[in-house]
Amino acid sequence: MMKRKIIIAVGVTMLLGILPTWAQPRARAAQEENKSANELSIRAQTRYPGSKSLPQDVVWTREIYRTLDMTKEENGALYYPVEPMGDRMNLFSLIFKLLGQKKIPAYEYTLDGAERLTADNEIKFKDVLDRFSIYYEQRKLKDRRDSVLVIENSDIPSGDILSYFVKEVWYFDQRSSTYGSVITALCPVYHRSEDFSSERVKLPMFWVNYKDIAPYLNGAMVMASNFNNVANRSMDDFFVTRQYNGEIYKTTNLQNRPLAEYCKTDSAMMKEQKRIETELVSFEKHLYGSDTLSTVVKPAIKEKVSAKKTAKAAAEETAVEQEAAAQPEETVKTNSKKKGREKTTSTSSARQGSKREAAAPKASVRRQRR
């Protein structure tokens, strides 16, 4: 009995000593995996520094949200090739693979459409696959207990990502006296066909921080022209130089209202988009004279009001001149009417006189015959 207790105690001691050593390789493998992923990201950032970030302590900013239509020719560099062809792939395929390899995080798209690029709002890659019904296989590896997700290139819905939401931040840095814009976030929009409808439903998928993908975009070359088939420009250059064509659908405001909420018609929407674009250009033109938007817009409004007043005064003067010019014509018409009456009376009297003269000789002839 005593021997059994001793054997059990020795066995438990040996087991407790083996468990930590057995768990260490797994923990070490996970640490090395995370370390290699981080080192790759740092290497990529060193080799491809990417676009500039928003300067600190700027005195003026304007946040603009645009939608990029991939069916437009200007945005074709981000859409083609639809399926990966060797090293070449479109924007969504690149983002999708980076998410699958856990090189960049993705963030939830909330109902208000605002991006919240925080750790509390991160979304898992598997949740993205399940939410948008993207086919994948879950395979187990021999040396590891956890499984990996395998997605074929043909199952990546890059052809159905027909638009993107892009957030721009326009700024004026007083320290360096520079005016420009930076892109802070991207959101792919999935255009999915429903079973009993011919129209596609637009489903925003997730937000990604542009700073996270900028090093990889800088290494992804695209063909930006139909006349030059050499891929000589990076996706990051494409965004930084603002070669895309995007329509404004929202600006950051106190009420968080998109343009569609207060622009009920297409003409009103186009007018509002043009007004916002004009404000951005006008601010740059009047940058060194004033640094607030109100001082730029108010003079423009005053100019419009003065132009309207000038046009109104000119119209009134023209009306007075036309009225004055119309009065002599009326007097001429009345005089002409009077002259016409005099002419008619004179002609009638002349006719009567001629009749009398014609009748007088006949009477004289008759008298001579008698």
Give the separation between CA 93 and CA 151, rounded to whole angstroms.
11
Residues 96 and 245 in one domain: yes
- Say how many residues make up the chain: 370
Does residue 201 sit in the same domain as residue 112?
A: yes
Question: What is the Cα 22 distance to its own chain's centre?
Answer: 55
Residue 313's Cβ-count burial label (10 Å; 0-12, 13-18, 19+) is exposed
Domain residues for 6? 1-47
Q: Could you say which of 238, 264, 290 is where a domain stops?
A: 264
What are the pLDDT digits (tens) for 51-99?
A: 567 888 888 999 999 999 999 999 999 999 998 888 889 999 999 999 9
Residues 2 and 119 in one domain: no
Question: What pLDDT does 94 receive?
Answer: 96
167, 115 Cβ separation under 8 angstroms: yes
Are 69 and 26 in a shared domain?
no
Please tell me whether residues 17 and 96 are part of one structural domain. Answer: no
Q: Which pLDDT score, from 0 to 100, does residue 175 have?
A: 85
Q: 26 and 78: one domain?
A: no
Can you tell me the distance from the alpha carbon of 157 to that of 192, in angstroms, rounded to the nearest whole number?
10
CA 187 – CA 201 distance, rounded (Å): 16
In a domain, 25, yes or no: yes
Same domain, 246 and 212: yes
Q: CB–CB of 55/173 below 8 Å?
A: yes
For residue 121, being part of any structural domain is answered with yes
Say if strands 208-209 and 178-193 run parallel, antiparallel, or are unpaired.
antiparallel
Same domain? For 76 and 41 the reply is no
Asked if residue 123 and residue 74 are part of one domain, the reply reads: yes
Q: How far is CA 183 from the centre of its chain?
A: 12
- Is the domain of 93 the same as that of 190? yes
Asked if the structure places residue 229 within a domain, the reply is yes
Within-domain flag for 227 = yes
Tally of structural domains, the chain: 2
Number of H helices, E strands in the chain: 8, 12
Alpha helices in 248-292 (DSSP H): 259-262, 266-285
Q: Is there a domain that residue 338 lies in?
A: no
**In this model, does residue 260 exceed pLDDT 70?**
yes
33 and 72 belong to one structural domain? no
Q: Give the whole-angstrom CA distance, residue 235 versus residue 251.
A: 25
User: pLDDT tens digit string along 220-259?
Assistant: 998 877 777 777 789 999 999 999 999 999 999 998 899 9
The answer, as to whether pTM is greater than 0.75, is: no
- Does 253 fall in a domain? yes
Residue 269: which of 283, 256, 251 has the closest Cα?
A: 251
Do both 7 and 28 map to the same domain? yes
Q: Which residues have CB under 8 Å from 224's CB, separation 6+?
A: 77, 232, 233, 238, 243
Examine residue 323 and state whether it is found in any structural domain, yes or no: no
pLDDT digits (tens, 9 = 90+) for 299-316: 555 666 666 667 777 777
Residue 335 lies in a domain: no
64-73, 171-180, 226-235, 277-286 — most confident range: 64-73
Q: Examine the pLDDT at 370 and tell me if it is beyond 50.
A: no
